[in-house]
Amino acid sequence: MSEKPIVKSTKKRGKNFGPRSVSEIVGKVLEPVIARRAGMTLDLINAWPEIAGEEFAKTTRPEKINWPRRAHEDDPFKPAVLVVACENSAALFFQHEHPAILERINIFFGFEAIDRITIVQKAVVSLDKKKPKDKNPVTSMDEERLATILDEIDDPVLKETLTKLGRGVLSRNTK
């Protein structure tokens, strides 16, 4: 009898393997929490800039959906109220545009899920990434000082890495 060697496949099966974005992993964890606490989905939060429009994307955000309580399962469906946080400066403009936004929200859901929007005036944190601060140029005197400090290091890779780090630190320091 000849024994066949056991060969394990290095190829992983299924769609859950391979590189995934952090937002995908975190989204799966946060989705049930947000649904339970705020009655919303991350899809609505992520789609908010398209729903609200460019002018309101930075000054508003959906806070929660208040679904009406049903006494029995046989009670008819009633649309919910969407609570939207809005910067003080944009609240009046948002109020004037809210019928069109309400229509886009219901198009997003695919049915008349929301029949009213309630505005809560408060500061809204923008989800846009902050622009990096302008870096100060590294002077020739700083370059010479850095070269003197790193002169005794023999490993060229380490020396280059520390030189880059030193330039980064020196460019962030205020003069």
Percent of the chain with pLDDT over 70: 70
Please give the mean pLDDT across all residues of the chain. 78
Residue 98: its pLDDT value, please? 87
DSSP-assigned letters across all residues of the chain: -PPPPP----SPPSTT-S---HHHHHHHHHHHHHHHHHS--HHHHHHHHHHH-HHHHTTEEEEEEEPPP-SSTTSPP--EEEEEEE-GGGHHHHHHHHHHHHHHHHHHHTS--EEEEEEEE------SPPPPPPPPPPPHHHHHHHHHHTTT---HHHHHHHHHHHHHHHHHS--
More confident residue, 59 or 9: 59
Query: What pTM was computed for the model?
Result: 0.51
Neighbouring C-beta atoms of residue 63, cutoff 10 Å: 19
Segment 99-154, tens digit of pLDDT? 999 999 989 888 888 899 999 998 887 655 455 566 778 888 888 988 898 898 89
pLDDT digits (tens, 9 = 90+) for 65-94: 888 887 777 778 888 899 999 998 888 999
- Write down the pLDDT at residue 117: 92
